[in-house]
Amino acid sequence: MTPLLQVEDLVVRHSTRRGRGTHGVTAVDGVGLTIDAGTVLGIVGESGSGKTTLARAILRMIDPAAGRIVFDGRDIARLSGAALRRARRGMQMVFQDPYSSLSPRQTVGAMLEEAIAAVGVTDRADRRQQAKRLIERVGLRQHVLGRTAHDLSGGQRQRVAIARALSARPRLLICDEPVSALDVSVRAQIVNLLLDLRDDHLAILVIAHDLAIVRLLADRVAVMYLGRLVEVADTQELFERPLHPYTRALIAAVPDPSPFVEHDLTAIEGEIPDPAHPPSGCRFRTRCAFRRQRCAEDDPSLRSIDGQHLSACHFAEEISSHVGSPR
Amino acid sequence: MPDESGGAPVLEVRDLRVGAMTPAGEVPLVRDVSYDLRPGRTLAIVGESGSGKTTSVLALLRLFPLRSDYRVSGTAKFRGTDLLSLSDAALRRFRGGALAMVFQDPGTSLDPVRTVGAQIAEMAARHLALGRRPSRERAIELLNLVGVPNPRRAVDRFPHQLSGGMRQRAMIATALAGHPAVLIADEPTSSLDVTIQAQVLGLLKRTSEAMGLATILITHDVGIVAALADDVAVLYAGRIVERGTRDEILGSPDHPYTQALLASIPRLDSPRGTRLGSIPGIPPELHDAQAGCAFEPRCPHRIERCALERPPLDPLDDASGRVSACWVHPSLTAAGSR
Amino acid sequence: MSEVRMTLGDVAPPRDRRWRTYMLLPGLIVASFLLVGVLGPALAPRDPIETDLAAVLHPPGSGHILGTDHLGRDELSRLLHAARTSLEATAAVAVIALTIGLGVGVAAGWAGGRIDEVLMRATDLFLSLPVLVVALALLGILGGGFWNLVLALSVSWWPPYARLARGVVTVERRQPYVEALDLLGVRRSRILRAHLLPPALGPSLVLLSTDAGNIILMVATLSFLGLGITPPTPEWGQMLVEARPYLQTATYLVVIPGLCITLVVLAANLLGEHLAARLGPGVELPRTSLAARLGWGPARGPTIEQPESEDTRAG
C-alpha cells in the first residue's frame, strides 16, 4: 500500500541577516518520513529541532530547498499556483495558538461556511448544514456557531480550528503543538478528540514537545534534533527501548507525576547548539553521555537497527543493551 | 501542616484575600488562602488559569502593575512581621532580599539594557551592603553556583546574549544574591525546553536544599510538583480546595477537582489510545457570588448540600495537616470500597 | 499559561459621566456644522453672492440678522453657504486621501518585499513634504478653485493613512488565521477584501476623525491666503481676509467667520481625539493634545480578563 505522505531528503533553509552578511540556517537537513493513511505520526523535538519548519514545509507554507514531498502520489515540492492548491487540498493544519488561529471578526458559523465555500459548496443551505455537522463532530454545541472567537475559551477555539480544518475534508491533519497553549485539564479534551478522529481514519501528523501527549496519540514517533531525525520507531518500541542517547535524555527529562518515588533530577548537560553552527560529526555529541572519538569525526546517518526501528547513532546497538528504559 | 522537618514556619499566610477594583465593583481573585511555609520545604501551589495562584504570591510582595487598583487583606507574617501591613518603603527592604522571586519568562523579567552581572550585583549590594568590587565577585560566584559556564565572561553579558536556560539561571542567581530565606518561583520552567527544564529543576532543588530555602513553587505541571514539592496546595477559583503533603495529594487526592485534574494528565506509561479523563463544564466567572462550592457544577460527586453551602477546609484525619474543602470527601468514602 | 491578566486597559472609570458632559458641547458644535453644511443653502435667507451696494457694511440688525459685508451681501447667507463649501472640500480631501492611503498601504502590506519597500519609500517622500508649502506651490501653478484646492491637499494628506494601513496589513497577514485561510483555498481577493481591509479601515477612520479638524483649518487657511476657494463662492477663510480692512469699522465681519472657524476646528479636534482614545487600539492620545492637557483622556484601570470557560459536553 502506498503511503499517504512520503517525504524524501527534505532540506529547508532560513536565511537571516544578522550583523554583517547573510547567515543561512538549515532548519531541516535531509529529513525523510512516511505516513500511511489513517495512522498517526508524532514528531518530537525541542527548540532548534526544525519540527515546525518541517510541518510548514510539508504544507508548502515555506519552500523547500531540496527534496520531495509526495502526497497522494504527487510530488508537491515543485508545484505552485492553482496546481499546488489543488494537490495540497487534502492536507490541513491546526496551529498552536488558538487565539490567533481564528479570525477575530467572524462568527464561528461564518468561518466554517467560508471554509466550506472554498471547497466548492455553492448552496447556502448546504453550507449551513455542513457547518452544523462539523461543530457537532468536534463536540461543541450549536450555539457556538453564533459566537465570535473572542467569546470562546482556548479549548473551544481549538475545537473550532479543528472543525475548520475538517471542512476541507482533509486526509491528513497536521497539528503543530495542538495543546501546549491550553490549560492542563482542557488538553485532555482535545487529545480525546484527536483520538476520535484517528479512529475515523484520519491520518494525523502531531508535532509536540510533550512526550506524554505524543505517546498517547501516535502510532509511530520520530525524534528530531537540530534539523535531523535521530530516531524513528513504533511508539511503544521507542518509549520502552530508545536507541538514541537523545531520546533517552528526553524521556528521562520528563518529570514523572507519580508520588512516593524519589525523583532523580539529573539531566544531560549543555545547551542546545546554535542551529546555524551545528557541531561537527554527530550533532548531539556535545551533550551525549555515550560519546566517543568517532562521534566528532563521523556524522551518523539514520539506519535500521531492528526492523522498523531506526536510529542515527553509531552505537545504537550498545545502547540497546543498556539497562532497559531510562526511567 | 505536618510538623516533621522544617521547624517553625518562616512564612505564615492567613486569610489572604485579593480583589481587583473594576467599574463593576470589586472582583475577588483570591479568597481565604492560608498556609504555612517551613524552611527547607517546598510548597507547590497548583492551579490552572484563573485560579489565582500567581495573584496570591504577587500580593505577598506587592508586585502588581503600576497604577492598578487592588485590595489586599489578611496577614502574611514573615518571621513575625506582617508583610501586608508594611509601607512600600519597608517592604522594599524585604523584596529581593529575604524574599526573592523568580518569574516565568526571563526574557521579559530581566532588564534588557543592563548586564546580568550588574543586576545580580545590585541585589547583593543592596541587601548585603557590599561594595562595588565585592558585589561583582559575588555575582560571579553566584553565576558559577547556578551552573553558568565561564562566569567571568557571562557576568558582562546582556540577557539577550544568553540562551533561555542561561537567562533563567541568571534570574535565579539574582534571586539568590540577597541571601533569601524564601524563594517564590512562578512557573520557572514553563518557557524552557524539556531537557533544559530538567537542568533548571535540578538546580532549584539542589540550591533549595543546600541553602535551606523555603520555596513556594507555582505550577500547573503535576510532574514538576512530584519532582520538587514537599507540600501541595491546590487552588480553584481563588480558594485553596485541598492542601497536604505531596504524597498525600498525588497519591490519594480527596477533592474532586484534584482527582479530576490528576486524571486528565497523560503519563509516559499510559498505553497508546487511552482516553484521558476531562472535566466537563466551566470554571466559574469571577464575579459570581456563589453560596455553595465553586466546583459544584462540574463535580461528579456532588450532593444537594454542595450548591447551598460552601464546604470549609476540613482536616481529613487528625494526625496529618491534610485538609480538603468538600462535603463528600471521596477519598475517604472510596477507601472503604477499594 | 496566563493567569487572570491584570492589564492596564481602557476601562471607562466612573469619570465617564463627566466626559459625556464635556463632549456634549463639541459634539453639538460638530453636529451643527454637519447639519448646516448639508442643509445650509436651503436655510439661507438670501443669495450669498447677490450684492447690494446700498446696504454696505450694515451691522447685525433687522433685515440682515448678521449684517452685510463690504459689498452688501448678506453675512448669514454667506456663512451658511461657506459651511457647505468647507464640508464638501473636507469630505473630498478625506475620501481621496483615504482611498489613496488604503490602496498604497494594503498593497504594500500584502506584497511585502521589494514592492513594500518601494511603496513605503514613496510614502515617506510624500510624508516629508510640508503640506502648506506643497499646496501653495500647486495652487500657485494651477490657480485657485475648489477642485484644485482638493487636489493640492489630497496629494500630501494620504501618507499617514498608507503607513497605518500597511502596518495593520503586515501584521494581520502573518497571523495564523490568514495562513489557515490560504491553506483552505480561500481566494486571495476574498482574503484581502473580507479579512485585511476591515482591520485597516478601522484605525484609518479613527485617524480621520482627528484629522478632519485639520483639513477644515487648512482649507480656510489656503482660502485666507487667497489661493483656495475663489470668490465669489463664500468660504470662511476667504471671508476673513476680505473683512480684514474693516477690522475696526465693522469688527463683526472679522469676528463672526473667525469664530466659526475656531469653534468648528476646535470641536472637531476634541471630538476626534476623544473618539480616537476610546475606539482606537494603539491610537494614543498625543500628550501635547488639548484633550490630554485638559485631562479629558480616559483614566487607566485594571481590566479583568475572564478565566477560560469550557462549554462542551462531557468527555
pLDDT per residue over B10-58, tens digit each?
999 999 999 988 777 888 899 999 999 999 999 999 998 888 899 999 9
Q: How confident is the model at residue B336 (pLDDT cuts 50, 70, 90)?
A: very low
Question: How many angstroms separate the CA atoms of B329 and B281, rounded?
Answer: 21
User: Which pLDDT score, from 0 to 100, does residue C283 have?
Assistant: 43
Residue A143: count other Cβ atoms within 10 Å of its Cβ. Answer: 10
Structural domain total, chain A? 1
Cβ separation A185–B274 shorter than 8 A: no
Say if C4 falls within a structural domain.
Answer: no
Cβ separation C183–A93 shorter than 8 A: yes
Q: Scanning the structure block, which residue is given the C-alpha cell 480561500?
A: C186
A 161-200 residues inside an 8 A Cβ radius of B: 183-189, 191-192, 195
Q: What average pLDDT does this structure show over C277-294?
A: 51
Say if A80 falls within a structural domain.
Answer: yes
Q: What average pLDDT does this structure show over C43-71?
A: 79
- Which residue of B lies nearest to A49 if distances are taken between CA atoms? B193
> Is the CB of residue A209 less than 8 Å from the CB of residue A247?
no
Radius of gyration of chain A (CA): 21
Most confident of the following: B50-54, B171-175, C71-75: B171-175
User: Which pLDDT score, from 0 to 100, does residue B104 have?
Assistant: 87
The three cell numbers of residue B317 are 484525619
Determine the topology of domain B11-98+180-268+275-290 in CATH.
Answer: Rossmann fold (3.40.50)
Question: How many angstroms separate the CA atoms of A62 and A83, rounded?
Answer: 16
Q: What average pLDDT does this structure show over A34-47?
A: 94
Considering chain B, tell me which residue range(s) the CATH 3.40.50.300 domain(s) occupy.
Answer: 11-98+180-268+275-290
Chain-centroid distance of CA A316 in Å reads: 24
| pLDDT tens readout for residues A69-116 | 999 888 999 888 888 888 888 999 999 999 899 998 889 999 999 999
User: Which of these ranges, A17-21, A42-46, B207-211, B314-318, has the smallest mean pLDDT?
Assistant: A17-21
User: Which pLDDT score, from 0 to 100, does residue B6 have?
Assistant: 60
Among C256, C236, C253, C231, residue whose Cα is nearest residue C244 = C253
Interface mutation vs chain C, best among A80, A89, A105, most C CBs within 10 Å: A105
> Is the CB of residue B243 less than 8 Å from the CB of residue B57?
no
Query: How far is the CA of C228 from the CAs of B84, B337, C129, C232, in angstroms?
Result: 67, 93, 19, 12
User: Which pLDDT score, from 0 to 100, does residue C281 have?
Assistant: 53
Q: How confident is the model at residue B133 (pLDDT cuts 50, 70, 90)?
A: very high
Amino acid identity at A105: R
Say if C57 falls within a structural domain.
Answer: no
Q: What is the CATH number of the domain that holds C292?
A: 1.10.3720.10
- Which residue of A lies nearest to B193 if distances are taken between CA atoms? A46
pLDDT mean across residues, chain B: 88
**What is the domain extent for residue A215?**
5-100+170-256+265-320
Cβ separation A253–B163 shorter than 8 A: no
- Which residue of C lies nearest to A117 if distances are taken between CA atoms? C186
Q: How confident is the model at residue A57 (pLDDT cuts 50, 70, 90)?
A: very high
Q: What share of chain C has pLDDT > 70, as a percent?
A: 81
Structural domain total, chain C? 1
| pLDDT tens readout for residues C20-31 | 677 788 888 888
Flag whether residue A159 sits within 8 Å of chain C, measured between CB atoms.
Answer: yes
pLDDT mean across residues, chain C: 79
Better pLDDT: C309 or A92: A92
User: Which pLDDT score, from 0 to 100, does residue B96 have?
Assistant: 86
Q: What share of chain C has pLDDT > 90, as a percent?
A: 26
CA angle A198, A199, A203 (to 5 degrees): 30
Nearest CA distance, A165 vs chain C (angstrom): 7
Name chain A contacts of B267, Cβ cutoff 8 Å: 212, 256-258
3-state SS, chain A, equals CCCCEEEEEEEEEEEEECCCCEEEEEEEEEEEEEECCCCEEEEECCCCCCHHHHHHHHCCCCCCCEEEEEECCEECCCCCHHHHHHHHHHEEEECCCCCCCCCCCCEHHHHHHHHHHHCCCCCHHHHHHHHHHHHHHCCCCHHHHHCEHHHCCHHHHHHHHHHHHHCCCCCEEEEECCCCCCCHHHHHHHHHHHHHHHHCCCEEEEEECCHHHHHHHCCEEEEEECCEEEEEEEHHHHHHCCCCHHHHHHHHHCCCCCCCCCCCCCCCCCCCCCCCCCCCCCCCHHHCCCCCHHHHHCCCCCEEEECCEEECCCCHHHHHCCCCCCC
DSSP strand pairing (B182-186 vs A228-234): unpaired
Q: What average pLDDT does this structure show over A238-243?
A: 92
Cβ separation A101–C180 shorter than 8 A: yes
Question: How many angstroms separate the CA atoms of C7 and A107, rounded?
Answer: 26
Say if C58 falls within a structural domain.
Answer: no
Amino acid identity at C40: G
Q: What is the CATH number of the domain that holds A15?
A: 3.40.50.300
Query: How far is the CA of B132 from the CAs of A8, A148, B137, B176, in angstroms?
Result: 59, 56, 9, 18
Q: Does pLDDT of B287 surpass 70?
A: no
Nearest CA distance, B210 vs chain C (angstrom): 30
> Is the CB of residue B46 less than 8 Å from the CB of residue B95?
no
- pTM to 2 decimal places: 0.84
User: Which pLDDT score, from 0 to 100, does residue C121 have?
Assistant: 95
User: Which pLDDT score, from 0 to 100, does residue B22 have?
Assistant: 79
How many Cα atoms are found within 13 Å in the side-chain-facing hemisphere of B154?
A: 23
Nearest CA distance, A188 vs chain B (angstrom): 5
The three cell numbers of residue B181 are 530565606
The three cell numbers of residue B322 are 491534610
Cβ separation C1–A183 shorter than 8 A: yes
Q: Does pLDDT of A256 surpass 50?
A: yes
Q: Region of B80 please: left (phi>0), alpha (psi -120 to 50) or beta.
A: left
Say if C74 falls within a structural domain.
Answer: no
Interface mutation vs chain A, best among B162, B231, B264, B275, most A CBs within 10 Å: B264
Cβ separation C186–A161 shorter than 8 A: no
Say if A58 falls within a structural domain.
Answer: yes
User: Which pLDDT score, from 0 to 100, does residue C303 have?
Assistant: 35
Q: Does pLDDT of B338 surpass 80?
A: no
